[in-house]
Structure 1
Amino acid sequence: MPPCDAVAAAADPAASSGRSFRLVCPPGERRAVEALLSQTGHAWVPEPFSPWCRRLTAEPVPLGTSLAARFGYLHIQDRSSMLPPLLLAPPAGARVLDMCAAPGGKTGFLAQLVGPTGFVLGNEPSPDRLATLRQTLLRENLANTATCAQVDLEPFFPEGFFSHILLDPPCSGWGTLDKNPQAAKIWVGGKVAPLVALQRKLLATAARLLAPGGRVLYSTCTTNVAENEDQTRFALDNLPLVAVPLAPPAGFVFEAPARGDVSGVLRVDSKASAAQGFYLALFEKTGGQAGAPEDGELPGAPVPEAALVAAGCDPAGLPPGMVRDFGGKAYFLHAGAAGLPPGLRYQGHALGTYKAGVFRPHARARLLLGPWREGAGLNEAALCRIEALLAGQSLAGTGLPARPGLYFQGLPLGFATRKGARILWSDR
């Protein structure tokens, strides 16, 4: 392998951008992902509130253009926005609903927290935002998720279907004025009333869909009392919910609640925390019924595992579930999706195409790349050849499969394409 020029040393931490991000990988791959990121000159420190979260101390090139970001191994996210999934704290194997899921940062974090045996349904009524949600989950290879686009979820589910629900509803966004200065001008006076009404409707739906003892985390990125403490008081007075006091996570400064009859909630002090203004309240359901998932079949036609193996894929990287064919497009449907009501239209995790009995994985379906082995593809020790490949250059690939794997120091990145004796990269 030809030598590569060393990446310049990281910049002075005093010049830090201060941006935060989350690693998106199995626990055993954290060091490998950090090695990939360090190759582009980025430096960081761990956030004190989660082993997944980091804060940049050097950003020589935009973090979003790094190969770690391009291959879905990190998610750029405001510090405050990381808190709702962490404070909801669903255990491994939980069945979780993210009611207003786009752009997908919180959905993805929930998927990491519940692990391969857990299942997260992300709902997003807006078609444009739904596309963003799906692209996020696809890029980050979070196959223990599914997505749907219902304005009202209540008619589709029996009472008590979910053990955990995250409700981060549309809000006035007054806590994000540094990035969205128009929010305070758009949402003033009576203009906030429709948002308040929608938030209460969503809280009522969440209360119904929770199993007894289940928990819902309500969060907003606004400082507006009407959308925060007033909504907490509404939930406690009108819904079968009790408050669960939240312990303040390390690394943040919090303001006192804006109402004397509301306690145990968290209101992020934006300036002191170097983060967006956020409000968080946790509730637990009392009474009610538990709705068991239906014992239904997954939609679509089965894609034989042998077709994946024949394409050079390793199905062992998939969580519990099945690969199904929908008109030539192959989707992974998690086992948790089998219990979804039959009337609900949802989409699983896109893996590739399946035509005439032949499966072809998407370039980004790195979860189908098994551990590196000789002859499986290219395993690069530095970034120069990977960057050349992504820039449109071809590399020698004699004897490699038609869809060779691309690895960085054993870390799977995606599937390249072999044409003759040359290796090319295409995002398709």
Structure 2
Amino acid sequence: MPQRDAASPGPDTAGSSGRSFRLTCAPDKRELVEALLAATGHAWAPEPFSPWCRRLTAEPTPLGSSLAARFGYLHIQDRSSMLPPLLLAPPAGARVLDMCAAPGGKTGFVAQLVGPTGFVLGNEPSPDRLATLRQTLFRENLANAATCAQADLEPFFPEGFFSHILLDPPCSGWGTLDKNPQAARIWAGDKVAPLVALQRRLLATAARLLAPGGRLLYSTCTTNVAENEAQTRFALDHLPLLAVPLSPPAGFVFEAPARADVSGVLRVDSRASAAQGFYLALFEKTGGRVAAPEGRELPGAPVPEAALRAAGCDPAGLPPGEVRDFGGKAFFLHAGAAGLPAGLRYQGQALGTYRAGVFRPHARARLLLGPWREGAGLNEAALCRIEALLAGQSLTAEGPAARPGLYFRGLPLGFATRKGSRILWSDR
């Protein structure tokens, strides 16, 4: 039978039919992002399990096409999918690996949790899914993350390199049948065996890459016992991992574990929680070695800070690290990337172009926009002029900047383009 934690009442089913989403901004920008959402007529209720998470109560237009979404200030995400980063709970400054990272919702949430001094490496072997992951991190301006595409990470990293690891491996998806009704047929019977084998290989790799005392969060969006409790039992019996009992987050209803020899895990009751069926297990590494980052020089050629300032950018919004030039394309590489092993190909946050000594920020690189000041561009109190600009109209703006800033009540949105005395919007 479903279990409800006494301190964690289930969701208000009368208001839980709306989609859930997560704010992707600095803590001091939450009210401004909510004002931008309210200006487009959207309403929401706070989720009880995280100050970052919300549930829609009114959606007059699709949330995904709202201005807040367009400018990367929210991420639409199932309630259950928000739990793995929260239950992994990496502290500020942690070095985290997301082993199967696309489409990027969990990677981005982990990047928020570890803060500017923390570093997240998101790995995604599939080229198509890698592109989606990178676009997610780019749109949400999460510059303390980097991405790579390795089918097997083990040859690249020494033992004990990461303090925290998130493993949400490919699974049968039986917990998402309301959205993917074919999942049960595609992965019926013995067809799931290759997934089970892959999950065990990934668990073994994660256990080796985890530092002693480090934590590994294993999660799936399936109800299949072979991919859930059986994998937990495998990890405890064959890997240097101890179980860490999970406390039920508020706002969810959980089912009992499907095996008597497994405890302290969480199974989201999909119907009662108005969320996908999810399984979560937390482990801690016992013994082993700690690998200290070697601190090698970042790749690419440095882009001088003076070039950023000459373009009207404020580098103060960047976390620790450097802007580097790769054949005319400028990327931000977090300081944590300097510890990545030689031979690992990875990519940081795209910021714009750097040619002939001139830096040109990408329109979406809002983290390079400093606080609003007179002459910096447009700072609009209402949406009409912003919507006109996005619809292709040109507007006037004071100031000499070649790429004027676009703000909503002081909330940075991006860089516009100047053409003479007029400014235009382009997504490039």
CA distance in 1, matches of 2:55, 2:97: 28
Shift of residue 18, structure 1, vs aligned partner = 1.2
Structure-1 residue corresponding to 2:161: 161
> Per-residue CA shift, 1:98-134, capped at 9, x if unaligned?
0000000000000000000000000000000000000
**Structure 2 residue matching 1:155: 3-state secondary structure:** coil
For residue 196 of structure 2, what is the amino acid of its counterpart?
V
Structure-1 residue corresponding to 2:18: 18
CA distance in 2, matches of 1:420, 1:302: 31
Structure-2 residue corresponding to 1:348: 348
Contact kept? 1:352, 1:359, Cα under 8 Å: yes
Contact kept? 1:398, 1:422, Cα under 8 Å: no
Shift of residue 396, structure 1, vs aligned partner = 1.1
Greater relative contact order structure (CA < 8 Å, 6+ sep)? 2
CA distance in 2, matches of 1:15, 1:88: 28
**Structure 2 residue matching 1:100: 3-state secondary structure:** coil
**Structure 2 residue matching 1:154: 3-state secondary structure:** coil
> Per-residue CA shift, 1:16-60, capped at 9, x if unaligned?
751000000010000000000000100001000000000000001
CA distance in 2, matches of 1:211, 1:402: 48
CA distance in 1, matches of 2:94, 2:277: 29
Q: Counterparts of 1:350-389 in structure 2 under 5 Å?
A: 350-389=350-389
**Structure 2 residue matching 1:181: 3-state secondary structure:** coil
CA distance in 2, matches of 1:351, 1:291: 31
Residue 248 (structure 1) aligned with residue 245 (structure 2): no
Shift of residue 400, structure 1, vs aligned partner = 3.8
CA distance in 2, matches of 1:46, 1:266: 22
Structure-2 residue corresponding to 1:77: 77
CA distance in 2, matches of 1:399, 1:415: 13
Structure-2 residue corresponding to 1:99: 99
CA distance in 2, matches of 1:273, 1:16: 9
Shift of residue 295, structure 1, vs aligned partner = 1.8
CA distance in 2, matches of 1:164, 1:257: 24
Structure-1 residue corresponding to 2:108: 108
Structure-2 residue corresponding to 1:8: none
Q: Counterparts of 1:136-285 in structure 2 under 5 Å?
A: 136-285=136-285
Contact kept? 1:48, 1:251, Cα under 8 Å: yes
Structure-1 residue corresponding to 2:339: 339
CA distance in 1, matches of 2:16, 2:393: 33
Size of the aligned set, in residue pairs, is: 416
CA distance in 2, matches of 1:17, 1:374: 43
CA distance in 2, matches of 1:358, 1:60: 43
Shift of residue 63, structure 1, vs aligned partner = 0.3
TM-score (norm 2): 0.96
CA distance in 2, matches of 1:14, 1:120: 37
Shift of residue 399, structure 1, vs aligned partner = 3.4
Contact kept? 1:166, 1:217, Cα under 8 Å: yes
CA distance in 2, matches of 1:405, 1:73: 16
CA distance in 2, matches of 1:179, 1:196: 22
For residue 301 of structure 2, what is the amino acid of its counterpart?
A
**Structure 1 residue matching 2:341: 3-state secondary structure:** coil
CA distance in 2, matches of 1:410, 1:147: 31
Gaps of 5+ in 2: 1-12
Shift of residue 401, structure 1, vs aligned partner = 1.1
Contact kept? 1:15, 1:58, Cα under 8 Å: no
Contact kept? 1:17, 1:58, Cα under 8 Å: no
Structure-2 residue corresponding to 1:4: none
**Structure 1 residue matching 2:155: 3-state secondary structure:** helix
For residue 51 of structure 1, what is the amino acid of its counterpart?
P
Shift of residue 342, structure 1, vs aligned partner = 1.0
> Per-residue CA shift, 1:63-87, capped at 9, x if unaligned?
0010000000000000000000000
**Structure 2 residue matching 1:324: 3-state secondary structure:** strand
Contact kept? 1:95, 1:163, Cα under 8 Å: yes
Shift of residue 15, structure 1, vs aligned partner = 8.4
Return closer, same or farther for 1:417/1:306 CA change in 2, 3 Å cut-off.
Answer: same
CA distance in 2, matches of 1:36, 1:218: 35
% same residue:
89
CA distance in 2, matches of 1:425, 1:351: 17
Gaps of 5+ in 1: 1-12
Shift of residue 198, structure 1, vs aligned partner = 0.1
Q: Counterparts of 1:17-96 in structure 2 under 5 Å?
A: 17-96=17-96
CA distance in 2, matches of 1:299, 1:182: 44
For residue 317 of structure 2, what is the amino acid of its counterpart?
G
CA distance in 2, matches of 1:251, 1:88: 18
TM-score (norm 1): 0.96
Shift of residue 397, structure 1, vs aligned partner = 2.2
For residue 340 of structure 2, what is the amino acid of its counterpart?
L
Residue 391 (structure 1) aligned with residue 388 (structure 2): no
CA distance in 1, matches of 2:90, 2:44: 27
Structure-1 residue corresponding to 2:326: 326
CA distance in 1, matches of 2:311, 2:134: 24
CA distance in 2, matches of 1:82, 1:122: 16
For residue 386 of structure 2, what is the amino acid of its counterpart?
I
Contact kept? 1:160, 1:209, Cα under 8 Å: yes
CA distance in 1, matches of 2:251, 2:61: 26
Structure-2 residue corresponding to 1:9: none
Q: CA RMSD in A?
A: 1.0
Contact kept? 1:101, 1:133, Cα under 8 Å: yes
CA distance in 2, matches of 1:398, 1:392: 19
Structure-2 residue corresponding to 1:5: none
Shift of residue 398, structure 1, vs aligned partner = 4.3
For residue 409 of structure 1, what is the amino acid of its counterpart?
R
CA distance in 1, matches of 2:28, 2:357: 34
For residue 26 of structure 2, what is the amino acid of its counterpart?
P
